[in-house]
Amino acid sequence: MYPWQAQLTQASPYAGWLQVPGSLTHALMRRCPKFNVLRLCQDLDLPHADEVEALALVPGQQAMVREVLLRCADIPLVFAHSVIPSGGLRGPWKQLTDLGSRPLGAALFADPRIHRHPLEFKRVDREHPLHAKAGVHLGQPPANLWARRSLFTLEDQPILVTEVFLPEVLNLP
């Protein structure tokens, strides 16, 4: 498995999308007038091993996991996977449990108290659980998908947001 990288060191057709500096949601909305969010799941679950490390969690500790598709009309563009440790659910991130099909990005970038840590990048291969979760929304998923993730903090409570780019995002005008 490839580790998460602080810089995009490999050539990728997704480089422009991976390096969007602000809200990916807003960038997609500018390119797609029929942008929408389809919530797939939101429940307590075990984070993936690399997320446990990034969030400084105790292995086996559950967190709220929210998964959505960012779409243009009914075409999936991005699979988004967010993890909020339970401490944040009782504190500053409590309001995020009621988002439904509203975009998380809008909430994260609306509050100036929220600090976004630097982006990390990864070529997600079939060995990573996010490949299967994102790939199920594709007919034939490629061997590798490109992803980025970022840690956001509010009142010292983290949330980890990972965005896996699906091939159709490259077809946006």
Inform me whether the pLDDT recorded for 1 exceeds 70: no
**Residue 58: how many other CB atoms lie within 10 Å:** 7
Residue 6 falls within a domain, yes or no? no
Domain of residue 44 covers 15-171
Encode pLDDT of 79-100 as tens digits.
999 999 988 888 888 887 788 8
Rounded mean pLDDT, 6-11: 88
In the numeric block, the tokens 């919530």 are attached to 39
Integer-rounded Cα Rg, in Å, for the chain is 15
Mean pLDDT, the chain, integer:
92
Flag whether 75 is in a domain: yes
Domain containing residue 107: CATH number: 3.40.1410.10
Decide if 32 is inside a domain.
Answer: yes
Distance CA 82, CA 74 (A): 21
**Angstrom distance (rounded) from CA 2 to CA 10:** 12
Domain count, the chain: 1
Question: Is residue 2 one of the residues assigned to a domain?
Answer: no
Residue 3 falls within a domain, yes or no? no
pLDDT for res 95: 81
Residue 7 covered by a domain: no
pLDDT value at residue 2 = 67
In a domain, 153, yes or no: yes
Q: Is residue 45 part of a domain?
A: yes
